[in-house]
Amino acid sequence: MLGLRKWRCCCILGLASFGPGLALAAGDRAAGLDHYLNREFGLAVAAFERHLANEQGSPEAHLLLTKALLYQELDRLGFVGTRAFRGDRKYRSAQKPKPDARINRRILDALEKGRQACERVLAESGDDRQALHSLAQLYLVRATYDYFVAKAYFKALASGRQARELSYRLGELYPDFPDGLLVAGFQEYIVGKLPWALRVMIAMRGYGGSKKKGIQLVERVAQEGVENRNEARILLAVIERWERPPEEAAEAFARLAEDFPRAYMFPLEAADLYESAREKTMALELFEEVSRKQRSGENRFDRMSQRMVGALGRRIEALERALSDKRQRTGR
């Protein structure tokens, strides 16, 4: 309704002092983050559940599990992936899964428990950095859920505005904590990216945003952040896909593919962008490498859906034909 398709886009103190329970929790947190950034959302959920079991009072522990639960479901529904096959009719027309009421209840329950954990901490210390940071992100998670799953578009905007206000409050309270501004940057960009007529319409309801300011904030987190630096890098690559020449965006996704080798959507995005930049040989090499890993199971690429595997095969065949035709025309 609101044309927010571009929404897709698309971090142990004194372990010896706290005993083995906290050490185990910290290990689960690190493992969960590794799985999450490699887009292995099911494994991330399992790790964050173990982490939360040892850190029930931690706002961040609740946040991490909630994010993983939501993105596991968005991935199942087909909202997390790649644009590499957007031109494939068979891929687009394939039947997609439906939302699951049981999973939705679990996500909403995790959101509420996370909010309560944040507010308990903030009731004692209203300026607690981690609680504010987690609460801002939880409102962004709620906005994402409202938009993609509940299809409640104006609720999504309202939750997004709450997230942005908390993010800016973090920036004021903790100017040396750039990570806290990532939520504000995302919201500024998304709303500022909307068509002019739509921005005018939602402005009458009190919603606004600046695409330029959003990019600047995301860039700062990608360069200076610690806790959210990698998430900012991923978001920045998505922004570059929309805002930069395709060869520049391709390089950003290629770097992500190196850093997160089990996230097969990053090389797929890079390959698609290289083809857009008329680097068809490079694109074909990347697509073929993804296909090889999928067949062998390397880096767990065999978890790709059959719908995506079929589209990948058709993309490779089309590129092979295009390069063969070019060689015949040019004699080389």
Q: Is residue 143 part of a domain?
A: yes
Q: Provide long-range contacts, Cβ within 8 A and 24+ apart, for 125-132.
A: 127/173, 129/170, 129/173, 129/174, 129/177, 129/180, 130/59, 130/60, 131/59, 132/166, 132/169, 132/170, 132/173, 132/180
pLDDT-based confidence at 168, cuts 50/70/90? very high
Mind listing the pLDDT tens digit for each residue in 59-100?
999 999 999 999 999 999 988 878 999 999 999 888 888 999
Q: What pLDDT shows up at residue 18?
A: 28
Q: Is residue 88 part of a domain?
A: no
Chain centroid to Cα 145, Å, comes to 13
Mind listing the pLDDT tens digit for each residue in 245-257?
999 999 999 999 9
Q: Is the pLDDT of residue 327 over 60?
A: yes
- Nearest-CA neighbor of 234 among 214, 257, 210, 213? 257
**Domain's final residue, options 117, 148, 179:** 148
Q: What pLDDT shows up at residue 331?
A: 67
Distances from the Cα of 246 to the Cα of 192, 241, 250, 274, angstroms:
21, 6, 6, 7
**Domain's final residue, options 148, 176, 208:** 148
Q: pLDDT exceeding 90 applies to what percent of the chain?
A: 79
Residue 117 maps to which CATH number? 1.25.40
Q: Is residue 202 part of a domain?
A: no
Q: Is residue 268 part of a domain?
A: yes
DSSP symbols for 87-130: T-HHHHHSPPPPP-HHHHHHHHHHHHHHHHHHHHHHHH-TT-HH
Q: Is the pLDDT of residue 47 over 80?
A: yes
Could you tell me which residues come within 8 angstroms of residue 254 by beta carbon, excluding any fewer than 6 positions away? Answer: 266, 267, 270
Q: Is the pLDDT of residue 16 over 60?
A: no
Q: Is residue 270 part of a domain?
A: yes
Mind listing the pLDDT tens digit for each residue in 127-152?
999 999 999 999 999 999 999 999 99
Q: What pLDDT shows up at residue 332?
A: 62
Number of domains in the chain: 2
Q: What pLDDT shows up at residue 255?
A: 97
Q: What pLDDT shows up at residue 299?
A: 97
Task: Give the structural domain span for 308.
Answer: 253-332
Q: Is residue 192 part of a domain?
A: no
Within this chain, do residues 258 and 144 fall inside the same structural domain, yes or no?
Answer: no
pLDDT-based confidence at 26, cuts 50/70/90? low
Average model confidence (pLDDT) for the chain? Answer: 90
Instruction: Evaluate whether 38 touches 109 at the Cβ level (below 8 Å).
Output: no
Q: What pLDDT shows up at residue 318?
A: 96
